[in-house]
Chain A
Amino acid sequence: MKFLFKFGLVVSVITTSSLVFLILAFLLYFSIPLFDSAIFVGFFTQKWDVSKSLYGLLPMILGTIYISVLATFFATAMSFSLASLSEGFLPKKIATVVEGIIVLLAGVPTVLYAFVALFLLVPLINIYFFMGKGLSIFTASFVLAFVVLPTIYVMMLSAFRGVPKKHIKTSLCLGATKKEVFFSIMLPQAKPALLGAIVFGFARSVGDTLIALMLSGNSLHMPNTLFDSARTLTSHIALINANDYESVAFKAIFLCALLLFIFTFFVVATLKYLYKEKRYA
């Protein structure tokens, strides 16, 4: 019995820890045929046009960068404001309510934000602001901001709470106002963890599929302005029409996934290095 239990432990640890390597192995297995062909450089310089045998991922890479940078910007502005207010300025009771609401927001399915935006925000922009530009980088990143907001907010809260209470008390004791405590004690000390929260939020917004898929228009053109339609790496994967498993178009999908994998790896490694300890998001 005891032996069986220990055997189970070892088997599951090996299984779970090999998952990441398995994912990497499969991504490589399918994308390696592309590495030695002459078109490899083309993936990072060309456009995507299957009819002309062009398989460039550059528009998607740019689309991903534009949408997630903008979304991170919106989300940071909102969650930093909310976290600062609830830790530094609002009365405790209101702050608890705000925290409760935002933590619950993390439970709202992503697809619903996109669905509601599609029938509310997109027509609004189409009719009143920019004719026919409802499905755009701007729309996608604005909505995406609400998806990553709770993540960044919770991490920023714990960053502020990591500031030792005694430092806050000492400065109150010297006659500092709430505002002064916030700006001169809490903010400087929480800064590294706050930056970590933003990086993590950025990774989240790069990894999201549904918002960009449903709201950014998925055009294959190079995006130029905020109100252009664009396609992200994630939605490019989602849009694959997998009829011919041997085609370059299909294998290029795995290159997209490989790029996302590498990006995630670097983000997690950076955060791990920054925090130097286990972080439970």
Chain B
Amino acid sequence: MHKIFQKIIIFLFYFFAFVAFIALSVFFIFIFYKGVNAFSIKLIFDDTPPLDALMLQARVFNGIFNAIVGSFFVVFVSIILALPLGFLSSIYVACYASKNVRFWMGFLCELLSSMPSIVIGLFGLSVTIFLHKNFFAELYPSLLISACSLAILVIPYIIKMTESSLCQIPFSIKNVGLNLGASKTQNLFFVQLPYVSKEILGGIILATGRAVEDTAVIMMTGAVAMAGIPSSIFQKYEALPFFIYHISSEYSSKEQINQGFGAAILLLGVSLFLFATAFALRKIISKRSGFGI
């Protein structure tokens, strides 16, 4: 009886794994088929000459170029904002904090990283409304607000990755500098940080991947369907994931759907590339022997 029960369970394992495998294959085949067919230079730049568009000489009206540029800028700014904050916080937590502080920081990070991204988006929006009403009447949802909100989204990732890598430095290496008479700060900069540089890079890449794909935050804080290329960080902007969402709800022709698939395959490519890089870095790290820089 027991044996039969186990056999059924194992059969179910294979069955569910098979279902997952089939569904995922269909997903990938479909998106690659549609995306690769739809993908072309025209899709990105429409009828504008690519070089002119890249030099910002001519405006692209019907391509996804604006969305690509918008996505790039919003992610870039958010990482610039998140990096120093996350990095310094994790150094403090890993090297200087007491056990209590470490526990609470861990809890807060965990809470922040588990927070639904739409809540963070709403937070960004509400801060904007608050500031708009009380202090800066000119402030509206914009690229800067989105970048700040995305930064909040990725800060816990950067903290967790950096802190765990700093904590996991082998004991033999951790205090080499101290034994040679270095101060705690010197030891940190000349021994520990070089040792974990690859982990930190991996953390930044993962954070970038997270920021690129997130849609809920930017749709609350300033991403719109038509904006062109923003001339300052206080303007509204277009972004790839929002473009895909927008197409799905308001498409009116087959061409637009094709555009959506083109954008989808591009976004998938970027995300998977970032993720695979971070993954490969981790593999390299796990094989490292000695003082790997």
B-binding residues in A (CB < 8 A): 2, 5, 8-13, 15-17, 19-20, 22-23, 26-27, 29-30, 77-78, 80-82, 84-85, 89, 100, 103-116, 118-120, 146, 149, 179, 183, 200, 203-204, 206-210, 213-214, 234, 237-238, 242, 245, 253-254, 257, 260-261, 264-265, 267-269, 271-272, 278-281
Contacts and interface: CB of A to CB of B under 8 A. Distances in A.
Interface stretch (B46-54, B55-63, B81-89): B81-89
Contact of B85 (A15, A85, A89, A278): A15
Contacts of B139: none
A118 B247 CA distance: 11
Nearest to B247: A115
Given A8-B88, A13-B93, A179-B6, A237 B118 contact: yes
B115 A207 contact: yes
Kindly list the 7 A-B residue pairs having the minimum CB-CB distance in the complex, ordered from nearest: A107-B275, A207-B116, A109-B213, A81-B16, A12-B88, A209-B216, A81-B13
- Interface SS of chain A: helix, strand, loop or mixed? helix
Find the residue from B111, B112, B113 having the highest chain A CB count within 10 A.
B111
A109 B271 contact: yes
Contact of A26 (B89, B130, B271): B130
Contacts, number: 225
Interface residues of B, number: 85
B278 to A, nearest CB: 8
Given A78-B20, A110-B213, A116-B31, A2 B185 contact: yes
5 contacts: A12-B84, A16-B159, A27-B123, A149-B20, A237-B122
A26 B27 contact: no
Contacts of A107: 209, 213, 271-272, 274-276
Contact of B17 (A11, A78, A100, A103): A78
Contact of B117 (A179, A209, A254): A209
Nearest to B249: A214
B212 A109 contact: yes
B37 interface: no
B116 A146 contact: no
Contacts of B93: 13
Contacts of A254: 122, 126
A109 to B, nearest CB: 3
A123 B241 CA distance: 22
B191 interface: no
